[in-house]
Chain A
Amino acid sequence: MKKFLLSTAAAAVVAAGSAGAAAARDQIQIAGSSTVLPYASIVAEAFGENTDFPTPVVESGGSSAGLKRFCEGVGENTIDIANASRKIKEKEIKTCAENGVKDIIEVRIGYDGIVFASQKDGPAFNAFTPADWFNALGAKVLKDGKLVENPNMTWADANGELPAVEIAAFIPGTKHGTREVFEEKVLKQGCEDSGAMKAMEDAGMSEKDAEKACMAVRTDGKAVDIDGDYTETLARIDSNKDGIGVFGLAFYENNTDKLKVATMSGITPSTETIASGEYPVSRPLFFYIKKAHIGAIPGLKEYAEFFVSEEIAGPKGPLAQYGLVADPELAKTEEQVANEVTMGSM
């Protein structure tokens, strides 16, 4: 309050011209995955409270957008850390290197579950398998032993045990890291399970082409890409009682009064089932540090060490409380951060 009044008064008195030369940046800048954003902001806040460094700035925008900004180059007007809900790609490492970002430290902070949830009072979507999702959303599916353009209009068409309501799935858009996990662990898996993959290969497709065809989503409006955040998906589900959305576990746990979650292959998603690997749809979360910025931006290494400390990212820390599945190999990550081990040097 007092600080607020002081700076307001100061701002009002002095004219705008006195901004002066740009001072060296003393605040860490982070951007990237909106899935990692809550965790990063919790750590940033605690970091500001526990150290003399200012609270880092965390922006969202998606893993790909964050890594793109990360790879723009080295220097004060580029970000120091990119959050990602997927591993950095070879292509991105190459772009980074071309722009002078050569030494990247990869930090795995833990795991996140991807859950499938529908309106609390909606139809009984209680149990799914990857094959159900593939049959509902795949571009080409197996019908009576033949590969055809997806003819399924209701979930009951995909699997007779599911409710006979129109398919309306809200899945993350392609700029989200979550989409990739959804394609890999649900669509591709479902494609294999339903036998469509084998049918594609038998039809003369190479394995790679078949995989790609497996992960293609139908484009007739039954599957809706959500480019925004999970709140947008929640709003769509709120207004469509037959809708099913893809969420992060932490988001679902904050909105249990509105959403009901479905099991995947018979397993209920929870931090325990994800940590044990029973729940099939989970993915590691990462952040990437520019090594060149360590030393130039005050507090950067301290932030990374603080993030992966047992008290923060461990199973009893505030991140696990919020919904992160703690990484059993956290101690190893801690050591790597302390020694500034870069990618490719291992």
Chain B
Amino acid sequence: MTDVTTGLLPSGRPNADETAKRTKARNAAEARFKLYGIVAIAIGLFFLVALLFSIITNGVGAFQQTFVKVSIPLNAEQIAAAEKSVVKTSKYRAMIEAALADKIMAAGYKTEFTDPRKLGDILSSSAAAQLREHVLANPGDAGKTIDFQFLASSRVDGYLKGRVTRAALAEDKNLDAGHLDLVDQMKADGTVVKHFNWDFITGSDASDSRPEQAGIGVSMLGSLFMMLVVLFLALPIGVAASIYLEEFAPQNRWTDLIEVNIANLAAVPSIVFGILGLAAFIQFANLPQSAPLVGGLVLTLMTLPTIIISTRASLKAVPPSIREGALGIGASKMQAVFHHVLPLAMPGILTGTIIGLAQALGETAPLLLIGMVGFIASNYPDGIADGFLHPNSAMPAQIFEWAKRADPAFYERAWGGIIILLIFLAIMNITAIILRRRFERRW
């Protein structure tokens, strides 16, 4: 071993030069690795920011809506005549259009249109229903002139938000550029106003002809009822199953098999649970279609493995000395578990449950199969039983439905819905983090 050229000392260890070189190489490798890590994080952050930016820029418009102020003289005879016809709203519509035409004449706006029907195109078709609702609720108003704020049609709204241009209206039969000239004049003197629209957050879904009226409120209730079902079924079942498996069950081939299956179940695609739900709950058990109860049951199946796995992990994290101490002073096994182990594991269990619920809240695929996607979230449920059994949609299903409708105005609402859904998910995840931080104990 006298060959010095290899950089080794006669003792077999590297000489100083060689050591310095190797140290440098190792340090460089470490610096490179750090750099890769930072680049990875930067890429992740970039995508997150890009995603949030596109969601917010696309969706924030949905929270603002354009309204047109019109005063309508309510005439008892006209109302009585309208109530006698089959399509009552079309008669109310005529009253609104006449009032709007009068207003335009009186204010001296310049417009090429003279037909009240044509002028009425700037109003949403929901205006007639709004008027009728007011008339039915306030019969004493007959004979008075009442000020109303009606939704503007989606294209007028799109124009004020910059989505609809004059050029785009050239081939559009719903609105003409002449309407936009009128809207410009009405906006200048405050007849057309744009303000925050609570109805987007609390309202019900609307048909394809009036995207301006659609809101996510009813489907939010649908999601709420589904989450109640998931919470009240998945939490007790999941916790009971995990306590048994973790604390009482013997370790044998059967429990091993169950464990493997629970882990597998957690990885099953959610649409499979939808097919199962359709077959088991609707076709076999005859539960009603499109009902949040069924949606909740399906999502319970999906959430159970998540809850079981996280509960078992937090039970495992409780040190055996606690159990042994309790057993040592004469507690029964059940007392040891319920008085000592479970309370200590609770923060972890709740965290797991909240994350499971958040997952279930954002799930769409299984709902497709049990009839919760479509024009469904149109009625507020009357009461609790109705809330569970009445057809309803859910937030992600509603967003999906909006995204596939023809009118581009629905697209904006889909993004707006995503913002609301994200806010809910963020709240749930933050709660989970706070719970874990405050109550978690380390041994």
The interface of chain A, by Cβ under 8 A from chain B, is 1, 3-5, 7-8, 10-11, 14-20, 22-23, 25, 27, 29, 31, 37-38, 40-42, 44-46, 48-50, 54-55, 57-60, 76-77, 79, 228-232, 250-251, 253-257, 306, 309, 311-312, 318, 321-322
Contact = CB atoms under 8 A, between A and B. Distances in A.
Contacts of B373: 59-60
Nearest to A5: B202
Contacts of B174: 253, 321
A173 to B, nearest CB: 14
Contact of B374 (A20, A57, A232, A257): A57
B375 A37 contact: yes
A283 to B, nearest CB: 18
Contacts of A306: 86-87
Contact of B89 (A18, A40, A46, A231): A46
Contacts of B88: 50
Contacts of A255: 406, 408
Name the interface size band of chain B.
Answer: 35 or more
5 contacts: A8-B224, A19-B389, A42-B209, A45-B378, A50-B88
Interface of B: 86-90, 125, 128-129, 132, 164-165, 167-168, 170-174, 198-199, 202, 206-210, 217-218, 221, 224-225, 228-229, 231-233, 282-283, 286-290, 293, 371, 373-376, 378-391, 403-408
Contacts of B128: 49
Contact of B371 (A31, A37, A55, A230): A31
A57 B221 contact: no
A312 B87 contact: yes
A40 to B, nearest CB: 7
A11 B221 contact: yes
A250 B171 CA distance: 13
B207 A232 contact: no
A25 to B, nearest CB: 6
B379 A17 contact: no
A1 B375 contact: no
A42 B221 contact: no
Contacts of A14: 384
A65 B255 CA distance: 42
A7 B217 CA distance: 11
Contacts of B172: 253, 256-257
Nearest to A1: B202
Nearest to A26: B390
Residue with the greatest number of chain A CB neighbours at <10 A, chosen from B199, B286, B379, B403: B379
A255 B408 CA distance: 7
A19 B293 contact: yes
A196 B287 CA distance: 53
Given A37-B374, A38-B406, A44 B209 contact: no
A1 B86 contact: no
B171 A42 contact: no
B89 A59 contact: no
A256 B171 contact: yes
A254 B406 CA distance: 6
Given A37-B374, A42-B208, A253-B172, 10 more contacts: A7-B380, A7-B381, A10-B387, A18-B385, A23-B389, A38-B208, A45-B375, A50-B88, A254-B406, A257-B171
A218 B219 CA distance: 42
Nearest to B369: A61
Contacts of A17: 232
Nearest to A76: B288
A22 B389 contact: yes
Contacts of B233: 16
B384 A18 contact: yes
Given A37-B374, A322-B209, A231 B384 contact: no
A79 B233 CA distance: 29
Q: Which of A3, A19, A27 has the most CB of B within 10 A?
A: A19
A155 B377 CA distance: 45
A238 B314 CA distance: 50
A58 B376 contact: yes
A4 B380 CA distance: 7
A58 B389 CA distance: 16
A15 B391 contact: no
Given A7-B387, A77-B282, A231 B379 contact: no
Contacts of A7: 221, 380-383, 387
A41 to B, nearest CB: 4
B202 A57 contact: no
Contacts of A15: 228, 232
A11 B387 contact: yes
Contacts of A312: 87
B198 A1 contact: yes
